[in-house]
Amino acid sequence: MRKVLLCTAIAVAGILIAASAWPALQVDADFDSGSIGTYSIDEANSTISLTLRTETLVNTGDTYTYWTHFRVTGALGRTVTFRITNAELVTFLKTTAHEAQMVYSCDGENWSRLTDHSYSGGVYTFTQTFPCDEPRIATFFPYPYARLAQLLDRVAMGPGAQRTTLGASELGRNIDLLTITGTAVPPADKKVIYMVGRQHAAETAGSHMIEGLIDFLLSDDVDACGLRGYYVWHIVPMLNPDGVFLGNTRATSESRDPNRDWHDANTESAGTNLARAQANAVKAATGIDWFLDWHSQIDDGRWHNFIYAPPGNTIFPHISARTDFDSQNTSGTSCTASSCSSRGYATLRLGVPMITVEPSPHLVSWTVETLRQQGVRFAFALNDYFGLYRGAVLPALAPQLGRTDCAGNCEGDTDGDGDVDGTDIAALIQNIVQAGCAPPRGPAKESGKN
Ligand SMILES: [Zn+2]
């Protein structure tokens, strides 16, 4: 009898040890692009209740609540439930008809969706068992300030890239310009593309697309060489680095929406001032053939990718053909001293055609890699529109060689004489060589749409 009791006591003690073996849960967001509102930890029930920060923009009066990015410590092997208690302020969390899913990561690089979630009575609840001790949780794949610094350090070493620091943000962070182009084609024969990104701090999808675009343009792919050769790519990848670092949803460090401060008379946002001045300098020096602004619509109730584009444009069919952006909004824009976006400024002050890219992070098919690839596809769509670099069709030409039934409709019939023959190939090779690039050898590769 005594022996049995002893065994029971040991077993109970074992259970107690196991139950208390969990290290205490801790939460923090004190890092680059981190953000959390108030929170409390119910250790006994492995539950963390939290709010998302709400920010009010001083120049528009608008309020936004949706960005969060925080770290949980003590989570290894533990099933933790999270309760966002101000989810009634967050459209994508409370709209249960759509599969809005936040993300988590064990290493800050590879992200998974939080699929076990529900919404009820203003509370968004999600539960996850973590395979690591310090997972990070975020609204969407983060893109911190430090990641851009790593990208610029990486690519500025390569040929064809020039990094220029335009100036400093309100808090002293660099606002950089990356110019990518080749040297073989005379400047007068090039088209000039001007891009800005990350005006809005939490719109990270745009940053991943820009990163993919930059990495591709500076790669040794023959098409990248061709796109460098015939175009000048001026890219301001992060106009609002302070807001990004501070984990803001939209604002600068001064609580301003930098994408309403583009009018010349408005000098309140440092990043906007620098990008606007640079755009004017480029316009005066070489002209700008297309302006492109990368955003991401997160919480305005739209669940699809779209672009803002000029009314009556002919670029949209190329974008739709190349990318997963099959919807355009061609509504007009305005630019007044009290409110002027880059779209209003480029269109009405610079007189330059422009698109604003608005991926929806709620499409669960997105990964960091698919976002990066979409950025590349926008470069091809712009080239399809301008048509300067024609070598991209060369790999697809081989199966068509010998055709005589084109009547001007075959992609490989570059001289439009109805057939695909050596003359067409010679013209494409000449186009590639003129860009200072070596024509590809070996099997064809696909560069079409997903
Ligand atoms: Zn935006």
Residue-level pLDDT, tens digit, the chain, 450 residues:
344 333 333 344 444 444 457 899 999 999 999 999 999 999 999 999 999 999 999 999 999 999 999 999 999 999 999 999 999 999 999 987 777 789 999 999 999 999 999 999 999 999 999 999 999 999 999 999 999 999 999 887 777 999 999 999 999 999 999 999 999 999 999 999 999 999 999 999 999 999 999 999 999 999 999 999 999 999 999 999 999 999 999 999 999 999 999 999 999 999 999 999 999 999 999 999 999 999 999 888 888 999 999 999 999 999 999 999 999 999 999 999 999 999 999 999 999 999 999 999 888 889 999 999 999 999 999 999 999 999 888 877 777 888 888 876 777 788 888 888 888 888 899 999 999 999 877 544 444 444
Whether the CB-CB separation of 173 and 237 falls below 8 Å is answered with no
pLDDT of residue 417: 86
Residue 328 lies in a domain: yes
Are 169 and 184 in the same domain?
Answer: yes
Distance 176 CA to ligand 1 centre (A): 19
Residue 333 lies in a domain: yes
Residue 440 lies in a domain: no
Distance 124 CA to ligand 1 centre (A): 24
- Map residue 196 onto helix, strand or coil: strand
CA angle, residues 394, 399, 404, in degrees to nearest 5:
95
Q: How many domains does the chain have?
A: 3
Write the CATH number for 39. Answer: 2.60.40.3120
Distance 3 CA to ligand 1 centre (A): 70
- Map residue 408 onto helix, strand or coil: coil
Distance 203 CA to ligand 1 centre (A): 6
Last residue of a domain, one of 91, 107, 138: 138
Are 192 and 323 in the same domain?
Answer: yes
Distance 292 CA to ligand 1 centre (A): 12
pLDDT of residue 1: 39
Structure tokens at 383: 């080239």
Edge-to-edge, what's the strand order for the sheet holding 39-42?
A: 39-42, 47-50, 79-84, 123-129, 117-120
Are 189 and 291 in the same domain?
Answer: yes
Provide the pairing of β-strand 191-197 with 290-294: parallel
Domain range for 218 is 145-386
Residue 289 lies in a domain: yes
DSSP string for 8-72 = HHHHHHHHHHHHTTSPPPEEE--STT-B---EEEEGGGTEEEE----EE-TTT--EE----EEEE
Distance 334 CA to ligand 1 centre (A): 16
Are 167 and 122 in the same domain?
Answer: no
Cβ-count burial of 87 within 10 angstroms (0-12 exposed, 13-18 middle, 19+ buried)?
buried
Distance 238 CA to ligand 1 centre (A): 12
pLDDT of residue 16: 42
Distance 97 CA to ligand 1 centre (A): 24
Distance 40 CA to ligand 1 centre (A): 31
- Map residue 212 onto helix, strand or coil: helix
Last residue of a domain, one of 86, 108, 138: 138
DSSP secondary structure letter of residue 263: S
Distance 198 CA to ligand 1 centre (A): 7
Are 173 and 95 in the same domain?
Answer: no
Neighbours of ion ligand 1 (CB under 5 A): 200, 203, 295
What residues have CB less than 8 Å from 96, skipping those under 6 apart? 118, 119
Residue 3 lies in a domain: no
Q: For residues 261 and 382, give the distance between their C-alpha atoms in angstroms, rounded to a whole number.
A: 27
Are 185 and 304 in the same domain?
Answer: yes
Distance 343 CA to ligand 1 centre (A): 11
Whether the CB-CB separation of 207 and 294 falls below 8 Å is answered with yes
Are 226 and 355 in the same domain?
Answer: yes
Residue 120 lies in a domain: yes
Are 290 and 208 in the same domain?
Answer: yes
Q: For residues 150 and 156, give the distance between their C-alpha atoms in angstroms, rounded to a whole number.
A: 10
Structure tokens at 365: 């098919």
Question: Per DSSP, what are the bridge partners of residue 229?
Answer: none
pLDDT of residue 158: 74
Are 370 and 428 in the same domain?
Answer: no
What residues have CB less than 8 Å from 349, skipping those under 6 apart? 262, 263, 264, 335, 340
Distance 200 CA to ligand 1 centre (A): 5
Distance 199 CA to ligand 1 centre (A): 6
Are 339 and 206 in the same domain?
Answer: yes
Last residue of a domain, one of 107, 138, 169: 138
pLDDT of residue 393: 83
Are 231 and 337 in the same domain?
Answer: yes
Distance 204 CA to ligand 1 centre (A): 10
Are 129 and 153 in the same domain?
Answer: no
Q: For residues 300 and 283, give the distance between their C-alpha atoms in angstroms, rounded to a whole number.
A: 33
Q: For residues 175 and 260, give the distance between their C-alpha atoms in angstroms, rounded to a whole number.
A: 18
pLDDT of residue 20: 56
Q: Which amino acid is at 186?
A: P
Write the CATH number for 358. Answer: 3.40.630.10
Residue 184 lies in a domain: yes
Distance 197 CA to ligand 1 centre (A): 9
